[in-house]
């Protein structure tokens, strides 16, 4: 031990690799190892191959103004097609002279959604606001008063129709879902069995079959002479469909309520309905708000299926616009246009649900 | 709950009937069942009346009649002279075909993208994120129309077909690709693969027992690779490696040779895989993130290499989180394959739709579709639940 020379300095270690600055960042995030370098180069190659043609098609070679479809066929996109058709794609067969009405309707829906996203608004105020909003939407779409011409539901089309199907489906599907979830957790066997049967039946079959049922079978179920509007039938299908999916989301929340809460409510002498309304549901529903938003995104995307029963939602109006003989062959342009609309709604809502999830978990994070 | 309260009191006075929990429960149930049964009876009554009035035929007798419509593509023999039952069978096989392939490819794509999102490589992670966020937020019907428009209407005729890979051509007739000519050697290779797989499983079991007994490890990974990949390869090479590809070539106005996929099938498969892949990617990512970092640190402290750490510590725990939502993705892929009807791929729903239009028997047609999908859902749930039990945490 005595041989150890205390004064011999240990050779200095090399400094740690740079981790700051542009070079350091590149080294740490793109070229940290041989595999990473290869992956990075592959990705760059992919981008170099893919991006320039897309930019050339969408911007550089694109035709922005053209008198008709013939003059619009070039190497790039024909945005003139969208310019020509965007009113039809967005609002469909709604009378041209009254276009301001669906525009205002979409505006009201956007305001309603923005208001619902503001957590300070949550509560009775939001309920009243939504009720007024929905009434205004239906008054504007239907018309028939104050100088506004009456517009049959068959003419409701495009973006307003998509929004109505999704939002009304969610609004009415939600209470149905809560009741089904409570029924599924009931200790009464008959109630439980019927609720499980309903939920699993609806979730087990594709939405298409429900829409077929609504358009082909529902008329048979009703007494002779009673006919229901096609839009209402599709809306009923969406409500029944949304109810089953929302029930499973709500059940997740119900299952997460600690048993002690229910026992405490019983100890206080609350009845089943008091306990459910005052203790269980407020906690369970608050817990499942983020997955509820996700379910809403799913339902919003599913409205595109009504093309099957030829209701003119956003997707169907775009498909219809494509059949115009004067403007033929602009598939990609039309799909990109409505794709961007759908995408903006869904992306915004999914970011919002992620934000909520983070905020709700703040207390639980270390 | 209320009955427990009653049991607590020493000498329970019998409450009045309307406050007796048991009686009330039965009364509620009777009322509920009566309401549901009444609703169903109302619908059935109206339906019978309507059917009688409109002269709609009932029963499944139509299944034995001649279908008299052509089907674009089929895995089994079919001609318009066949029965409706046969047509349904064609639709069912087409649905199963696209769902099975879609499930496999979506799992592969989703897993790769989920891992890529967790990559330490910034560019890889960002590109994977762009993929997920783009395709998850666009409705599937729109994506199907897009791919179908691209493959069927925008793509050139066979003479100007796009060559995306060597000998793989895309034209408005679909995608053609080379396949090896049938050769008896391939059956031997397949047999060798099966023997190798069985032997590998047996060897691993024996090696595990031996390790438990003696503590000695055997290079199980290399032996497995040798048995599963090496044995078939040896057989293949032993027979002189007969690799003759049936490559597609332009003959006249279309390709001959190779194998091909119709634009409808290709669009449906691509759409389903890309759409479902985004959800699977998020599930895989969440599953791996759900495994506590401490587990990885503990594994490192035990001296496990990174491959072992992933295989023995992280993955078994991640699978527990991954499998249940993965099941519902498989289910929704199968159900979403019914969207084939909008691009004209003859799946079950599309054929049932044609049948309903021809015969007017909507109730039977929809009942058959629902029965098939319920059965498929049940089958997938059962299979995945069995797998889930195998990977689930064994608790006290």
Which residues, including other chains, have CB under 8 Å from residue A136's CB and lie 6 or more apart?
A108
Query: Could you tell me if B23 and B41 are in contact, meaning their C-beta atoms sit under 8 angstroms apart?
Result: no
Residue in A193, A216, A262, A329 to test binding to B, most B beta-carbons within 10 Å? A216
Read off the pLDDT of each residue in A257-276 and give the average, rounded to a whole number: 90
Read off the pLDDT of each residue in A134-145 and give the average, rounded to a whole number: 85
Read off the pLDDT of each residue in A103-116 and give the average, rounded to a whole number: 90
Residue numbers of chain B with a pLDDT score lower than 70: 1-12, 252-253, 393-396
Return residues 140-199 of B near A (CB < 8 Å): 140-142, 145-146, 149-150, 153-154
Query: Could you tell me if B334 and B272 are in contact, meaning their C-beta atoms sit under 8 angstroms apart?
Result: no
Distance CA B265, CA B294 (A): 46
pLDDT band at residue A108 under the 50/70/90 scheme: very high
Cβ separation A331–B53 shorter than 8 A? no
Q: How far is CA B61 from CA A216, B66, B215, B319, B349, in A?
A: 20, 11, 68, 47, 19
Residue in B2, B125, B139, B374 to test binding to A, most A beta-carbons within 10 Å? B139
Q: What is the pLDDT of residue A107?
A: 93
Q: What is the pLDDT of residue B168?
A: 79
Chain B's closest residue to A221, CA to CA, is B43
Distance CA A214, CA A38 (A): 54
Q: What is the CA radius of gyration of chain A?
A: 28
Q: What is the pLDDT of residue A4?
A: 60
Return residues 15-44 of B near A (CB < 8 Å): 25, 28-30, 32-33, 36, 42-43
Cβ separation B138–A342 shorter than 8 A? yes
- End-to-end distance of chain A based on CA atoms, in angstroms? 47
Q: What is the pLDDT of residue B1?
A: 47
Cβ separation B140–A217 shorter than 8 A? no
Strand duo B179-180 + B174-177: pairing: unpaired
> Touching check for B341 and chain A: CB below 8 Å?
yes
Chain B's closest residue to A271, CA to CA, is B2
- Chain A to chain B Cβ contacts (< 8 Å): 161
Chain B's closest residue to A263, CA to CA, is B1
| Residue numbers in B near A320 (CB within 8 A) | none
Cβ separation B336–A206 shorter than 8 A? yes
Cβ separation B124–A43 shorter than 8 A? yes
- Give the 3-state secondary structure of A245-305: HHHHHHHHHHHCCCHHHHHHHHHCCCCHHHHHHHHHHHHHHHHCHHHHHHHHHHHHHHHHH
> Touching check for B289 and chain A: CB below 8 Å?
no
Chain B's closest residue to A339, CA to CA, is B138
| Residue numbers in B near A338 (CB within 8 A) | 142
Place of tokens 């490192």: B300
Q: What is the pLDDT of residue A341?
A: 93
How close, in Å, is residue B360 to chain A by CA atoms?
A: 10
Model-level ipTM above the cut of 0.95: no
A307 pLDDT exceeds 80?
yes
Chain A's closest residue to B116, CA to CA, is A39
**Sequential DSSP letters for A182-237:** HHHT-S-HHHHHHHHHHHHHHHHS-HHHHHHIIIIIHHHHSPTT----HHHHHHHH
For B127, the closest of A43, A207, A339 (CB atoms) is A43
- Which has the higher per-residue pLDDT, B151 or A161? A161
Q: What is the pLDDT of residue A364?
A: 59
> Touching check for B129 and chain A: CB below 8 Å?
no
Query: Could you tell me if A292 and A360 are in contact, meaning their C-beta atoms sit under 8 angstroms apart?
Result: no
Helix (H) or strand (E) holding B209: helix B184-214
pLDDT tens, position by position, B321-332: 888 888 889 989
A99 pLDDT exceeds 60?
yes
Whole-number average pLDDT of chain A: 86
pLDDT tens, position by position, A320-345: 888 887 888 888 888 999 999 999 99
pLDDT tens, position by position, A143-156: 777 777 788 888 88
Chain A's closest residue to B44, CA to CA, is A221
Is the full-model pTM beyond 0.95? no
Chain B's closest residue to A318, CA to CA, is B142
How close, in Å, is residue A145 to chain B by CA atoms?
A: 36
Q: What is the pLDDT of residue B11?
A: 61
For A315, the closest of B28, B119, B142 (CB atoms) is B142
């Amino acid at each position: 031990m005595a041989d150890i020379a205390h004064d011999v300095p240990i050779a200095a270690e090399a400094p740690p690799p740079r981790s700051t600055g542009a070079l350091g960042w590149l080294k740490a995030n793109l070229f940290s190892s041989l595999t990473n370098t290869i992956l990075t180069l592959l990705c760059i190659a992919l981008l170099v191959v893919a991006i320039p043609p897309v930019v050339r098609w969408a911007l550089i070679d694109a035709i922005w103004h053209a008198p008709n479809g013939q003059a619009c066929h070039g190497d790039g996109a024909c945005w003139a097609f969208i310019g020509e058709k965007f009113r039809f794609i967005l609002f469909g067969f709604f009378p041209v002279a009254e276009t301001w009405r669906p525009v205002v309707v979409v505006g009201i829906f956007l305001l309603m959604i923005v208001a619902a996203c503001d957590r300070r608004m949550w509560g009775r105020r939001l309920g009243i606001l939504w009720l007024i909003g929905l009434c205004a939407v239906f008054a504007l779409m239907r018309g028939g008063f104050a100088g506004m011409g009456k517009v049959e539901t068959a003419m409701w089309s495009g973006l307003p129709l998509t929004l109505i199907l999704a939002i009304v489906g969610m609004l009415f599907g939600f209470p149905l879902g809560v009741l089904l979830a409570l029924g599924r957790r009931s200790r009464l066997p008959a109630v439980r069995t019927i609720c499980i049967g309903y939920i699993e039946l609806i979730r087990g079959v594709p939405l298409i079959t429900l829409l077929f049922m609504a358009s082909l079978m529902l008329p048979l179920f009703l007494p002779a002479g009673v006919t229901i509007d096609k839009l209402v039938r599709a809306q009923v299908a969406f409500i029944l469909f949304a109810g089953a999916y929302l029930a499973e989301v709500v059940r997740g929340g119900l299952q997460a309520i600690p048993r002690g809460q229910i026992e405490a409510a019983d100890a206080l002498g609350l009845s089943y309905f008091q306990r459910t309304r005052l203790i269980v549901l407020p906690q369970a529903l608050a817990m499942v708000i983020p997955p509820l938003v996700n379910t809403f995104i799913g339902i919003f995307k599913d409205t595109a299926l009504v093309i099957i029963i030829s209701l003119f939602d956003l997707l169907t109006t775009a498909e219809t616009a494509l059949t115009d003989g004067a403007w033929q062959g602009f598939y990609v342009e039309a799909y990109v246009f409505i794709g961007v609309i759908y995408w903006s709604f869904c992306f915004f809502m999914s970011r919002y649900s992620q934000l909520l999830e983070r905020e709700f978990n703040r207390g639980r994070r270390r | 709950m209320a009955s427990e309260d009653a049991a607590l009191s020493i000498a329970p006075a019998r409450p009045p009937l309307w406050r007796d929990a048991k009686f009330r429960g039965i009364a509620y149930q009777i009322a509920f069942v009566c309401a549901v049964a009444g609703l169903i009876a109302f619908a059935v009554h109206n339906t019978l009346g309507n059917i009688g009035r409109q002269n709609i035929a009932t029963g499944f007798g139509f299944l034995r009649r001649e279908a008299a419509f052509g089907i674009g593509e089929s895995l089994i023999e079919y001609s318009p002279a066949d029965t409706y039952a046969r047509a349904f069978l064609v639709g069912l096989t087409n649905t199963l075909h696209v769902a099975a392939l879609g499930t496999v490819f979506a799992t592969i794509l989703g897993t790769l993208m989920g891992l890529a999102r967790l990559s330490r490589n910034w560019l890889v992670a960002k590109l994977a994120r762009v993929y997920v966020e783009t395709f998850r937020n666009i409705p599937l019907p729109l994506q199907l129309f897009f791919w179908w428009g691209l493959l069927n209407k925008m793509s050139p005729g066979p003479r100007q077909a796009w060559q995306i890979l060597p000998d793989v051509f895309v034209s408005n007739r679909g995608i053609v690709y080379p396949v090896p000519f049938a050769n008896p050697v391939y059956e031997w290779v397949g047999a060798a693969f099966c023997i190798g797989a069985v032997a590998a499983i047996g060897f691993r079991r024996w090696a595990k027992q031996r390790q438990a007994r003696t503590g000695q490890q055997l290079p199980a990974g290399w032996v497995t690779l040798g048995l599963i990949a090496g044995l078939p390869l040896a057989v293949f090479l032993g027979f002189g490696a007969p690799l003759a590809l049936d490559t597609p070539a332009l003959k006249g106005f279309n390709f001959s040779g190779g194998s091909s996929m119709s634009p409808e099938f290709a669009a449906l498969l691509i759409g389903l895989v890309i759409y479902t892949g985004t959800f699977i990617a998020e599930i895989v990512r969440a599953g791996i993130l759900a495994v506590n970092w401490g587990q990885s640190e503990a594994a490192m402290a035990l001296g496990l290499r990174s491959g072992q750490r992933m295989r023995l510590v992280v993955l078994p725990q991640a699978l527990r989180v991954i499998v249940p939502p993965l099941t519902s993705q498989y289910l929704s892929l199968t159900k979403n394959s019914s969207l084939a009807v909008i691009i004209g791929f003859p799946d079950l729903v599309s054929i049932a739709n044609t049948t309903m239009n021809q015969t007017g028997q909507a109730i039977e047609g929809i009942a058959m579709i629902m029965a098939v999908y319920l059965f498929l859902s049940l089958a997938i749930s059962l299979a995945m639940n069995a797998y889930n039990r195998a990977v689930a945490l064994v608790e006290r």
